[in-house]
Amino acid sequence: MRDRLGGVFAFVQAVEAGSFALAAERMGLSRSAVGKSIARLEERLETRLFQRTTRRQGLTEDGQAFYERCVRALAELEAAETALDSGRRAPTGRLRVSAPVMFGRHCAAPLLRELVLQHPGLELEIAFSDRMVDLVEEGYDLALRVAPLADHAGLTARRLGVQTMSVCAAPGYLKRHGRPKTLEDLGEHDAVVYGRNGVNKPWRFPDGQGGEQRIAVQARLRFDDVETIMDAAVQGAGLAWLPRWLIAEHLSSGRLVEVLETQRPYGNEIYAVWPQSKHLTSKVRAAIDLLVARIPERLADTHSR
């Protein structure tokens, strides 16, 4: 029975991943192991499940019918396992998390490492990417999002805190170019911005009426990595719009200076999101509880003006 279920799971993973190779990567197996498992399943069922060509693989008619039944059966098994797991105290199993690069590395990863050290039966896998992943399609248990939640149908969300943003620059840059006093002054300055494919991400500020004002700044330096932007600002390359938790140490040391201090800072809400389920597994529940309790202290503004 165990071998049968293994073949069924490999088959479903291969269908949903679109290839044996990607299914093997998600399962932590070799491609040949997945292929052999599915071959044994086809032999036992005495039917061909996949129609394979040199360019693509697709389901046969029998394969499509079998896949639909397997999905329903595995969903029932998962629901039963989740219901049992939700009553456990200690989280176990592999926890797969997607997180934005900088926030994930500096704020989330240290906390989740603590969780793993506290629970010997727990494994952690974090993928750092600023891309908006599909949790269900890509097999993640949890994702962290530093942005307003747009369409999150099929997902459950929990607010973790607010990431406030500030405009800053090195003292040397301000000495050479002067200090901006209004938002309109930003257009007269060099800027280091977050962007890719030739498109600058605008800087956002509250408009005083519950909305936001977007400021398009000109920049010759454009990076898709926040830490690189910060390093360039410290070196005097121009103004930068950065999270306060990231630049707090540089503000305290004087390597960076905040400008437009009277401008109310813009805040990005941070959420934990996960696939909707009647029962939350102990590993996901433990991770969410820890992040809710500890992320606010990571986001706290430690710089005293």
Interhelix angle 2-17/31-45, nearest 10 degrees: 110
CA distance 103 to 9: 34
Residues 253 and 197 in one domain: yes
Kindly state whether residues 103 and 77 are assigned to the same domain. Answer: no
Mean pLDDT of 187-196: 88
Indicate whether this model's pTM tops 0.75: no
Residues 150 and 286 in one domain: yes
Same domain? For 194 and 286 the reply is no
Give rounded-to-5 percent helix, strand, coil for the chain.
45, 25, 30
Long-range contact set of residues 299-304: C-beta below 8 Å, sequence gap at least 24: 299/107, 299/161, 299/162, 299/163, 299/164, 299/245, 299/270, 300/245, 301/164, 301/244, 301/245, 301/248, 302/245, 302/248, 302/252, 303/244, 303/247, 303/248, 303/251, 303/252, 303/258, 304/252
Same domain, 182 and 171: yes
Residue 208 domain boundaries: 163-266
Domain contains 304: no
Q: Is residue 262 pLDDT above 80, yes or no?
A: no
Structural domain includes residue 118 = yes
Q: Are residues 153 and 185 in the same domain?
A: no
Total domains, the chain: 3
Secondary structure element (H or E) that encloses residue 141, with its range: none
Residue 305 lies in a domain: no
Let me know if residue 27 belongs to a domain. Answer: yes
Question: 264-294 pLDDT, tens per residue?
Answer: 778 888 999 998 876 788 999 999 999 999 9
Are 63 and 155 contained in the same domain? no
Instruction: Look up the CATH number of the domain holding residue 234.
Output: 3.40.190.10
| Residue among 95, 4, 42 at smallest CA distance from 282 | 95
Q: By percentage, how much of the chain surpasses pLDDT 90? A: 39
For 240-253, the pLDDT digits (tens) are 999 999 999 999 99
Domain identity same for 122 and 172: no
Residues 72, 7 share a domain:
yes
Read off the tokens for 120.
């010997």
Per-residue pLDDT at 35 = 87
Write down which residue in 40, 57, 85 finishes a domain: 85
